Structure 1
């Protein structure tokens, strides 16, 4: 089946990048920094994990900038890790789009591509849920467009992502999203519609933008809103070597978000944007040490029932192997109860994404 879908995808030209998402070649770190690293043995290999954040990158043009990452690659990384991944959620990445049609509907190609994969691999939990890209500012036909994504996703559509991550300084200045998008009244109407349809809203942003999400959450209280990557705390550009300063800015913003009961936090995506690159000294022990203050703060503020661990794979590969991420999370939470850890590793994600 994987060969069939890989062959089919070659008929879909790559998206001409716009302000939807940054081309991966524009990100300020190498795509495969941890590739040569040996995978660690899995800690607690029978512990159930639902991975609520992964991407696929099927560039049909061999000359396209960016690295292909197919369903089989993800399955291989899971198998090598030794961890028990029973479900996963695909997050839109603006690549497998339809070649024709107006911009607002071309993203149906990506939802359709992943929906067919999910249908073919129901037993393995590949893409148990899909978070699609849909222009939520459309006021006339948004309901119909969401229905088309529901159909394209073969019953796996669980939410929509519109991102605001943007920065004016190198090395992040190549990332282009509308930083004022979350203030748009038409977007808020679209997010309210998501809530009525039982779909979640999530947004990729950087930590100085977190208050925008808090304002949005208060304006759309009936919609579940997912904070990705703990707000992506920065350690690059003017923040390089100043993670203490970043933490001092980030923690109160997290506290303000935690006061919004409809906000859920994904814990992960830590590493590359904090300036952490994989090296000979990288291990799950070192990652757990570096990430633990951020992890513990999120759990303290939101509680385990509103937090879920994520891999952000393969985007996080510059910082570690896939297995090291889950080992680090397991090490960082050994002091918690069994029920608390179950929420963080699987049950919160199952609840939010209806897996």
Structure 2
């Protein structure tokens, strides 16, 4: 199974998706499964991990409904308030066979370092890991050191770093490698090869100039802890001649068949406990 480990759906409302700015017109619309399906078929992707895009349990319930209706959605990463005193009851309420993990947009917090260190947040994450839920870490390069401290406290189950940890592309791949190496040193942490195309680039930097980041990720995480993710539809903000699938194909072209199989699906199947595709389905 080839798996896109990171994609989104939403029914767009400005109040729910405040991170979508005025310069992101292509995202200011409903984004639904029928829109994505042709793209998945074109790139030979058989399944996806559907990831939350706003801090809402209601959105998580809706994503789970969609997942139940469309066979290509193999797992959902939802949202829940980790600091809630009623977290255990909330988890029971939203429990679903396809709910495999959670995420919070820590990068949008006023003080991400403080959020990552919050005792209530950390107590909540311990509950998630005890129940076998993956947790995805969404921070920028500014808070990778704080993410390391956070990850060291939570090694009972898989943690996943989204979007390479959003590198500062102006500093280069060697700098990013140095920043993220402590996270890569934690064997319960994996990394999504996603999001680079839409990070701010220095003038003149092409998509091909991003390949050293993939090379660095392979060196420090190894093929056994990397997953390809499109970040669709956010990836549509990139230039029209750039797409994450082609970029990943270039980055992995020289790897062995086994390494490619791991990055393109095997690792996602392990981390998110994905089941084999049914012989027949509604997609």
Structure 2 residue aligned with 1:324, among 235, 240, 243? Answer: 243
Going from structure 1 to structure 2, the CA distance change for 1:52 and 1:144 (only over 3 Å counts) comes to same
Structure 2 residue aligned with 1:72, among 24, 29, 34? Answer: 34
Taking structure 2 as the reference length, the TM-score comes to 0.85
Please tell me whether residue 160 in structure 1 is matched to residue 109 in structure 2: no
Aligned 8 A contact 1:191 1:223 in 2:
no
1:191 maps to which residue?
125
2:66 maps to which residue?
117
Taking structure 1 as the reference length, the TM-score comes to 0.68
1:1-355, aligned counterparts within 5 Å?
Answer: 48-59=1-12, 66-79=28-41, 82-94=42-54, 107-122=56-71, 125-126=72-73, 128-138=74-84, 140-150=85-95, 154-166=96-108, 176-179=109-112, 180-235=114-169, 243=170, 245-275=171-201, 287=207, 289-320=208-239, 324-355=243-274
The offset of 1:111, in angstroms, is 1.7
Aligned 8 A contact 1:54 1:314 in 2:
yes
Q: Secondary structure at the match of 1:85?
A: coil
Q: Secondary structure at the match of 1:317?
A: helix
Cα separation, 2, equivalents of 1:276 and 1:78 = 30
Aligned 8 A contact 1:129 1:157 in 2:
yes
Which consecutive unaligned segments of at least 5 residues does structure 1 have?
1-47, 96-106, 167-175, 236-242
The offset of 1:217, in angstroms, is 1.1
Alignment deviations for residues 89-128 of structure 1 (CA, whole Å, 9 cap, x no partner): 1111118xxxxxxxxxxx2321221111111112xx12x1
Aligned 8 A contact 2:173 2:212 in 1:
no
- The structure that has the greater radius of gyration is 1
Q: Secondary structure at the match of 1:131?
A: strand
Cα separation, 2, equivalents of 1:136 and 1:323 = 36
Aligned 8 A contact 2:235 2:243 in 1:
no
Which consecutive unaligned segments of at least 5 residues does structure 2 have?
21-27, 275-283
Aligned 8 A contact 2:104 2:137 in 1:
yes
